[in-house]
Amino acid sequence: MSAATGPAAKTERLLNLVLVLLYTRRPLSKAQIRALVPQYGETASTESFDRMFERDKDELRGLGVPLATEEIDHFHEDEPGYRIHQRDYALPDIEFETDELAVLGLASRSWAQASMAGPAAQALRKLRAAGVERDEGALIGIEPRLRTTEPAFEAVKDAVLSRTPITFSYRRPEGTQARTRRVQPWSLVQWHGRWYLAGYDLDREDTRVFRLSRVDGAVRTAGRPGSFEVPADHEARIMVERSAPAGEARPATLLVRPGAAHSLRRRATSTTETDSGWSQLGIEFQDVDGFAAEVAGHADDVRVLEPAELLERVHTQLRAVLAAHEAGS
């Protein structure tokens, strides 16, 4: 039997690999990983598995997943083991309000009953049956999310993995005109819920960080695959953290449906009840792209009255979600 192919199959396989490597307290050998991840067990031969596993390792590392290679024990010095340390993968502690905890509880039940009901759950059952020493708490925080989509993600991800220079139009937060950038894409990092590209700007001859939500239009290749090397001392997350500006608070006015958007209501600087029954909120934000993604996540429960820039960015986010759903249907 041959392993399933296609973007959805690859995404599921990578998720299962992350789950298995997070769940173990000790590094796993390639043979153990092949036995535990269902899609690897479906490969036609050991050579096919080796090629698939090597590609998957490179892809996870290219996406910023801290996949570690470690010695299994003193008797297997020539065979490396693999695992993901929860301390490197986890988010910092987050506090939630009562209503947010209720929503998370519902989501976690949906996750357990749906997403974990397929090959991912099968992989975890195999871990238990194999007697692998496991870390039960490591999977906390691995959950599906409804979120808006950055249209540039796939093209940028492929360029990072193949080390292919790219060009795209980029809109800085303080400007309205998008400018063309030519970049050697070094890595993709998710930071504070948003995706960033870290790389080398060929025109400015310096390192730069780009938020994917600010890329306008298509991402195009601008060179051959493998035409550059990523510096050995490259630290993508440090680059992203250093590049993030604090920004000044800006005012926005929103209309919120009754009983909805409690997270926005709590942060509002003013609240006025309208004749239509909706609440008009005055609220401050610093990052227009991040705030637009948050507002768009409430769908038709929230309407933007001002500023116009925020309204435009919300419309862009919602159009991206619609395009992603139409492409997947």
Report for 91-95, 138-142, 301-305: range of highest mean pLDDT: 301-305
Residue with tokens 């909706």: 278
The answer to whether the pTM exceeds 0.75 is no
CA nearest neighbour of 134 among 60, 27, 29, 41: 27
| Residue 113 confidence (pLDDT) | 41
Angle of CA points 287, 59, 239, to nearest 5° = 40
Query: Percent of the chain beyond pLDDT 70?
Result: 71
Per 3-state DSSP, what percentage of the chain is helix, strand, and coil (rounded to 5)?
45, 25, 35
Three-class SS state of 63: coil
Section 26-52 average pLDDT:
88
Residue 36's H or E segment, with its range, is helix 30-36
| Residue 89 confidence (pLDDT) | 62
Widest CA span in the chain? 76
Domains, the chain: 7-139 (no CATH), 153-243 (2.30.30), 250-328 (no CATH)
- Report yes or no: 205 and 255 within 8 Å, Cβ to Cβ: no
Query: Percent of the chain beyond pLDDT 90?
Result: 22
Question: Lowest mean pLDDT: which of 122-136, 210-224, 302-316?
Answer: 122-136
What's the mean pLDDT when you consider all of the chain? Answer: 77
Torsion of the alpha carbons at 153, 65, 114 and 296, rounded to the nearest 10: -40
Q: Is the pLDDT of residue 185 over 90?
A: yes
Q: Rg of the chain over CA atoms, in angstroms?
A: 22
State the distance between the two ends of the chain, measured CA to CA, in whole angstroms.
Answer: 27
d(C-alpha 278, C-alpha 251), whole Å = 19
